[in-house]
Structure 1
């Protein structure tokens, strides 16, 4: 039964947020769907129940979501818009060291990089992300990490490690 409760809880919250409704019908349907998802997927999704149910990690997840949507996305969109208007860009692929350990944390960082305008993770191995960057300002891996993934990794460590 490992992972059933955290998976069901996350599925329920996601269902209610995306349905946009808290009517009794939607709450009941969301609970049924969440319990089904938890029972079917919990043991595959959650590696450690104690970590998954830690409220501090959930709080950091909410803070990360808000920061990502309000700050990181906004800054990146503005940067890309300016580059489109001015034609000032220098695209290329850079090697960025990975500073997180777990596969979930690596996935969160890679998805955050890819979903942010101006950067796309095109490949990765155990030690590096290879990122297609709209404006390569450095080829030094550590400096590129500071500009591309350091903030994402800071949050990923608090949430998933």
Structure 2
């Protein structure tokens, strides 16, 4: 394969952003080092990581991604941390594993949903079905077994944004 066809600009941007985020600096040294690392990664594995470059650079998708990130980290995370803290102090928990239908078609969207659920206190994805249509989630408060209600309580917010960003 032609080396230039293997290069992925989207992977370069993502890796550089992650590098700069974790170093916490945008000095010349970090920009150069991060660019070198991002360049190497984007040549080696970029063509596997990002399948459709044109969709990646869509401003509409980035707008939804930013809104999702802000709302997720500022609102949803705060609400669930408070809920889990209350449950720890009151010892009121009804844990269990629930099966949730998944409507996102894109693998990136499925990963976003699964990671968002796992990063949210009180829930963790334990499995995704082989066909990718079901999530099995350990939930701290299984208040219902109705699939629609479970989906509304655990997944709907994440899935709505995953569709807007990736599908």
User: TM-score, structure 1 length as denominator?
Assistant: 0.95
Question: What residue number does 2:149 align with?
Answer: 143
Structure 2: stretches of 5+ with no match in the other structure: none
Question: CA offsets per residue over residues 4-60 of structure 1, 9 Å max, x none?
Answer: 101001111111111111111111111111111111111001111110121221222
Question: What residue number does 1:88 align with?
Answer: 92
How far did residue 155 of structure 1 move?
0.9
What pairs up with 1:55-94 in 2 under 5 angstroms? 55-94=59-98
Question: CA offsets per residue over residues 41-80 of structure 1, 9 Å max, x none?
Answer: 1100111111012122122222222211111111111000
What pairs up with 1:113-132 in 2 under 5 angstroms? 113-125=117-129, 126-132=132-138
Give the distance between the partners of 1:20 and 1:30, measured in 2 at CA.
Answer: 12
1:88 counterpart SS class: coil
Count of aligned pairs between the two proteins: 161
Answering whether residue 27 of structure 2 is matched by residue 23 of structure 1, we say: yes
Question: What residue number does 1:157 align with?
Answer: 163
Structure 1: stretches of 5+ with no match in the other structure: none
Moved over 3 A (4+): none
How far did residue 3 of structure 1 move?
6.0
- Relative distance call for 1:76 and 1:3 in structure 2 (3 A) is farther
* More divergent stretch after superposition (1-10 vs 108-117): 1-10
User: TM-score, structure 2 length as denominator?
Assistant: 0.91
RMSD of equivalent CA atoms: 1.2
Question: What residue number does 1:47 align with?
Answer: 51
